[in-house]
């Protein structure tokens, strides 16, 4: 027993009132008239008789009445176990984990077996709903009391390659509770993987009317090996062997030797042995990958022989193609910028572009549409026909990179672009007469991985009015150094200096090579993403010019992902399985996407019992502060129940008895008097 307001127990001092009434009150007698007391002898009469308790039953009733009144104001309560079936309209929610880790051993089958047993134990009329959860939550049916429909929903759940997310399950259950406006009993059938818990424990907090019951399938760590990552180029443009680096990880497993194999298009290229330390990682380098032309399926495998085979293979895609052509236009005799630009592109070792140089006079018969992008390096003017073709080329999706120097300063208009030249700012090389890059927009693709421009000196910069263009970099005097303007479907980037070492010393700094390479990839629309993505990632299917054109997507099982209606309208797709997705676009820009499961699923360490208890307490409304919350029958809630009304009923009965008995004694005293 406990008390909600224990401070009212101080009222027990009022017990002195009946004691005073029955014992300590002064004895009083009614005076009687008498003629004379002269014949009576004076002596002291004993008062012991007056200090004796009279009417013991009445005294006991009054004392008990006061004590019970004090008890009632203290609001006593007792704890009792409330079974979930006692909550009116309660709905059972059965959540089954179908993430990658559930492929280990027979975990998934055991989860479904326990869920079916729970369905069999539901009371007649008790309703339930079945959920499947991994990276996201899927309702497998409606809320129903039909056991056959619930069992069918359990059987329809299929294993996935996604990562488990208990935070996502919690959000879904909170939403269900808010929509049904009924209490829920949540059953979770999972291996309770530690990696599935959110970083913020508050993301697991459930509503007060949700009761959580976990069904952990594993209570100790299971050893596991996995190919954790593979580093390989996405595209190859030159002959020769390609380097592939793989990482093999051990999760709770002892030190062991593993056989690692590199495969391409189903054929084993090379096999190596590697020593993997206990709960550690080991790297394996392959230097023998010879990539044929076209799109190729690659993977790295290990002979793990553990209970989870789904993470023993890591997929990657690699494409062999010829370098794309880019046009570099400069004034006759100005070859220094061309040399620096070509050297920067070739410095990456796998140049995706081949430069076709041309002077201004040679551009009259050139068609820019056949180039990935065009560079105008400090040109004073262009033939009108070529400039018009460049404008059309940009509006149709082409890209132009313009460098401004002393020749470009002669004209007030930047070619192709809407930006205007205002003035040429020149600083001498003596002393500190130069400008530096004071601000860079690191979110722009040209410099997002290269922000080390602090030591670059700009002696000449052409001041331009960017208009509506995006400013990517500014000098210390706030002169725009790099701007990016979208015209139609294409882009025009302007660099307000030159690519040689005359107007600046940028070409001799390490930042120059990544700037040129990233800018070329950005303007040439060459995706430089990784050779693989994670399950759950999204891929773009079409751009703004391809509206209405059908896109065909084939999943790793060889089945078409999109319906006929979706093939002409869908803008992107989510990759839901491990393996290779073949995306075939009408413009010939086909793509082979390698998809791998999140390797955090490879760590099969379960959450601790204390963590699960804390999660249960947040659902049961105790917040983990009540040590008695776990007592009682399985699945019951230990909750306080007030007994105030029962105490007040006893008080009322005692008050009636005291009144009757008191009136009886009062009438007897009057008759005796």
8, two tokens: 């009212």
pLDDT score at 254: 93
CATH number, span 324-523: 3.40.50.880
pLDDT score at 151: 96
pLDDT score at 424: 55
- How many other C-beta atoms lie within 10 A of the C-beta of residue 232? 24
List, for residues 619-636, the tens digit of each pLDDT value: 654 443 343 444 444 445
Q: Does domain 84-221+606-635 have CATH number 1.20.1090.10?
A: no
- The overall pTM is greater than 0.85: no
List, for residues 74-99, the tens digit of each pLDDT value: 777 776 655 444 456 899 999 999 99
CA dihedral 655, 656, 661, 664 (to 10 degrees): 130
- Bigger pLDDT: 548 vs 280: 280
How far apart CA 203 and CA 177 sit, in angstroms, is 16
Looking at the predicted structure, is the pLDDT value of residue 427 above 60? no
List, for residues 109-131, the tens digit of each pLDDT value: 999 999 999 999 999 999 999 99
pLDDT score at 594: 97
One fold for 84-221+606-635 and 324-523: yes
List, for residues 359-409, the tens digit of each pLDDT value: 998 888 889 999 999 999 988 888 888 989 999 999 988 999 999 988 877
Domain ranges of the chain: 2-30+43-80+644-672, 84-221+606-635, 224-318, 324-523, 533-596
The answer to whether 272 touches 286, Cβ cutoff 8 Å, is yes
pLDDT score at 634: 43
Which option is the CATH number for 224-318: 3.90.245.10, 2.60.40.10, 3.40.30.10, 1.10.150.110?
2.60.40.10
- CA distance to 88, 101, 226, 253, per residue, from 300 (Å): 56, 20, 10, 20
How far apart CA 668 and CA 665 sit, in angstroms, is 5
The answer to whether 411 touches 505, Cβ cutoff 8 Å, is no
Q: Mean pLDDT in the chain?
A: 84
pLDDT score at 332: 86
pLDDT score at 4: 64
How far apart CA 227 and CA 280 sit, in angstroms, is 12
Confidence of residue 652 (pLDDT cuts 50, 70, 90): confident
Least-confidence region, from 276-285, 324-333, 409-418:
409-418
pLDDT score at 430: 46
How far apart CA 550 and CA 552 sit, in angstroms, is 7
The answer to whether 414 touches 402, Cβ cutoff 8 Å, is yes
The answer to whether 185 touches 95, Cβ cutoff 8 Å, is no
pLDDT score at 389: 92
- CA distance to 33, 49, 586, per residue, from 41 (Å): 18, 21, 137
pLDDT score at 426: 53
Give the pairing type, strands 210-216 and 184-190: parallel
Looking at the predicted structure, is the pLDDT value of residue 156 above 70? yes
pLDDT score at 629: 41
Confidence of residue 246 (pLDDT cuts 50, 70, 90): very high
pLDDT score at 333: 82
């Amino acid at each position: 027993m406990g008390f909600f307001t224990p401070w009212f127990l101080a009222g027990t001092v009022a017990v002195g009132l009946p004691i005073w009434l029955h014992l300590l009150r002064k004895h009083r007698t009614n005076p009687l008239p008498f003629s004379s007391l002269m014949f009576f002898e004076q002596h002291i009469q004993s008062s012991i008789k007056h200090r004796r308790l009279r009417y013991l039953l009445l005294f006991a009733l009054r004392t008990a009445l006061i004590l019970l009144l004090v008890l009632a104001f203290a609001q006593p309560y007792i704890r009792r176990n409330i079974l979930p079936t006692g909550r009116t309209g309660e709905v059972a929610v059965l959540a089954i984990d179908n993430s990658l880790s559930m492929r280990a051993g027979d975990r998934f089958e055991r989860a479904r077996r326990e869920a079916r047993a729970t369905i069999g134990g539901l009371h007649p009329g008790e309703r339930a709903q079945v959920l499947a959860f991994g990276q996201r939550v899927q309702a497998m049916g409606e809320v129903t009391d039909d056991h056959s429909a619930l069992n069918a929903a359990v059987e329809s759940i299929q294993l996935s390659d996604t990562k488990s997310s208990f935070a996502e399950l919690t959000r879904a259950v909170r939403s269900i509770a808010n929509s049904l406006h009924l209490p829920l009993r949540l059953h979770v059938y999972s291996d309770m993987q530690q990696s599935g818990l959110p970083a913020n424990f508050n993301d697991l907090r459930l509503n007060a009317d949700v009761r959580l019951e976990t069904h952990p399938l594993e209570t100790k760590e299971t050893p596991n090996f996995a190919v954790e990552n593979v580093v390989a180029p996405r595209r190859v443009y030159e002959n020769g062997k390609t380097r592939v680096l793989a990482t093999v990880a051990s999760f709770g497993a002892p030190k062991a030797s593993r056989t690692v194999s590199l495969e391409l298009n189903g054929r084993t290229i090379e096999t190596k042995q590697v020593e993997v330390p206990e709960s550690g990682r080991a790297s394996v380098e392959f230097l023998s990958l010879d990539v044929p032309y076209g799109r190729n399926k690659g993977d790295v495998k290990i002979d793990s022989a553990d209970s989870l085979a789904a993470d023993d293979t890591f997929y990657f895609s690699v494409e062999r193609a010829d370098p794309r052509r880019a046009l570099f236009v400069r004034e006759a005799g100005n070859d220094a910028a061309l040399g620096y630009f070509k050297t920067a592109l070739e410095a990456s070792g796998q140049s995706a572009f081949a430069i076709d140089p041309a002077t201004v006079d040679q551009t009259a018969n050139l068609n820019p549409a056949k180039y990935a992008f065009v560079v105008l390096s400090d040109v004073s003017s262009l033939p009108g026909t070529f400039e018009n073709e460049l404008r059309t080329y940009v509006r149709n999706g082409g890209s132009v990179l313009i460098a401004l120097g002393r020749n470009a300063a002669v004209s007030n208009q930047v070619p192709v672009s809407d930006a205007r030249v205002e003035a040429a700012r020149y600083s001498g090389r003596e002393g500190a007469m130069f400008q530096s890059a004071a601000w860079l927009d690191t979110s722009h693709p040209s410099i997002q991985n290269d922000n080390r421009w602090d030591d670059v000196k700009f002696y000449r910069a052409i001041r331009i009015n960017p208009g509506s263009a995006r400013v990517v970099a500014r000098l210390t005097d706030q002169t725009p150094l790099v701007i990016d303007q979208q015209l139609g479907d294409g882009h025009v980037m302007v660099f307000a200096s030159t690519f040689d070492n005359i107007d600046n010393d940028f070409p001799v700094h390490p930042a120059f090579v990544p700037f040129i390479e990233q800018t070329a990839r950005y303007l040439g629309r060459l995706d430089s993403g990784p050779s693989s993505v994670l399950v759950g990632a999204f891929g773009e299917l079409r751009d703004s010019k391809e509206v209405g054109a059908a896109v065909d997507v084939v999943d790793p099982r060889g089945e078409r992902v999109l319906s006929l209606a979706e093939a002409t309208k869908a803008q992107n797709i989510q990759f839901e399985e491990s393996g290779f997705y073949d995306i075939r676009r009408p413009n010939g820009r086909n793509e082979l996407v390698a998809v791998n499961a999140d390797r955090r699923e490879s760590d099969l360490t379960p959450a601790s019992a204390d963590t699960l208890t804390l999660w249960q307490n947040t659902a049961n409304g105790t917040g983990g502060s009540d040590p008695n919350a776990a007592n009682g029958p399985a699945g019951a809630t230990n909750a306080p129940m007030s007994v105030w009304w029962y105490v007040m009923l006893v008080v009322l009965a005692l008050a009636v008895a005291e009144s009757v008995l008191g009136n009886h004694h009062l009438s007897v005293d009057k008759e005796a008097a």
